[in-house]
Amino acid sequence: MNKYGRVALIGAGPGDLDLLTLKGKEYLRKADCIVYDRLCNKKMLELASSDCEMIFVGKANHHHTLTQDKINELLYEKAKEYDFVVRLKGGDPYVFGRGGEEALYLKERDIPVEIVPGVSSSIAALADAGIPITHRGLAKGFQVITAHSRKDEPTNIDFTQLMDEDVTLVFLMGLAHVGEIARGLINAGRAADTKVAVVSNGTTNHQRKVVGTLSNIESLVNEAGLESPSIIVVGKVVGLAADLDFFEKRPFFGKRFFLPKIQSFNYKLETGITEILYNELEERLEKDGAEVVTVVTGKIKPVECDLGFLELATTGDYIVFTSGNGVRSFFWNLFEKQGRDIRAVSNFRFAVVGEKTAAILREFGIVADLIPEKQTGAELAELLKKNVSEGVAINWLCGKVQSPEFEKTLGSDYALNKIVCYENVQNELTISDELKEEIRKCDGAIFTSGSNAKAVAGITLPDKVFSIGPSCTAVLKGQGVNEVTEAVDASYDGIINILRY
């Protein structure tokens, strides 16, 4: 029996979190230790368990945290310490990633190794820049070449072997040598007007590209100030970039927003409680092309609560939810803490604050009876007042700290039973000066709750500040933020709408 743990070399892909493979995600969740590179999307690390050891071994151009020999030794030592070690590498481990060297080193020391291929930037970054690496009539094949060299030395590429105009050339790690590459190809016989593109930070929402020819690409790159990682592509297919750059035509591409967020949880009967790692609004913004700068201000946790009102119910009493967290926390209490099932709520009607909360309620097999047109606590209270008969109990499943608008609008004439079933455990935020400056330079700051606004009070915000609703706006204005654009509809859809106009 092998006394050592195993090591998986995982390709993290070109940068886009969604281009990490399913097996890669699964292994990151199971890892005891992750040794990761500079070019990996840091959000991938959030998939790991809270007790997973994270070790950064990134390499910038000629600046190494650890040498390759030291990385090899580190992997070996960690395999002796842990059951499962993940080596997370940008792109694909075997495409100029030195993954083969690491695998051989471990194999020679009887460490079990598994390779999890990744999406190579040599193809994916071009695709998101609107450049297909092959195209009928334009390119019958492609060559991928490393342009990396020792410091201050030429690339040592034999350009005479790269003369076929029907083959797309892709140079990785070559930004510092773009002029040398262009001149080398021209001197070897390629036409000076051969199309060239350089793509920086491909597949990410801060992707940039310049398109030119071998004769002018160096000056265009210098003028644009492109940064590593960058890919150079040479060939006829570059001519398709203007027609196929769907990635860069998304509505928020090129925009950057600051979004403080609260980490939530999910609950399902078949899986129990799981953490929700990504904020839904954050994901939607990123899908639409925006960069999102986030800080986690707190974590939502369900709390055990008294559900004695279930025994006192009369037909027509209401259960009210003003958030999806309330829905999940209630059913967690009902199913997990009390061992009961859906029959316990058969006498009740249900009222929810909006369509999103109604959708979460439907996951538990219940259709909401009341949903206000405008998704605010005040509107929900007004709707209840129109529909609730005298003597009907209103059981509000809510958080420990809540906006007062629902309770205030409902007033004292109704039998309100307030049951706290979850809480927001605040994080102790430490925001570096570097991050503060990054936040200040954003195109806008988005706040989806008053607690998020309070958590970042005192830092300099961008000129444009967006709020999800009246309660959140009131907190911001109380902190001296006078210019606030408020969503008409207090929902993520409402936020997206005001960002677009």
User: Is residue 323 packed enough to be buried (19+ CB in 10 Å), middle (13-18) or exposed (0-12)?
Assistant: buried
What's the CA gap between 201 and 231, in Å, rounded? 9
Pick the closest to residue 232 from 327, 353, 323, 144 (CA basis): 144
Reading the block at residue 159, the tokens are 């350009």
Instruction: For residue 463, count other CB atoms closer than 10 A to its CB.
Output: 10
What's the CA gap between 45 and 307, in Å, rounded? 38
* Residue 59 designated active-site: yes
Reading the block at residue 168, the tokens are 């797309």
Which residue stretches of 51-98 are H helix? 68-81
Whole-Å CA distances, 131 to 179, 237, 451:
21, 6, 44
Of the candidates 25, 30, 43, 59, the residue annotated as catalytic is: 59
> What is the C-alpha radius of gyration for the chain, rounded to an integer number of angstroms?
28
**Would strands 113-116 and 141-146 be described as parallel, antiparallel, or unpaired?**
unpaired
- Helix 99-108 and helix 68-81: axis angle, to 10°? 50
What's the CA gap between 413 and 400, in Å, rounded? 23
Mind telling me the catalytic residues?
A: 37, 59
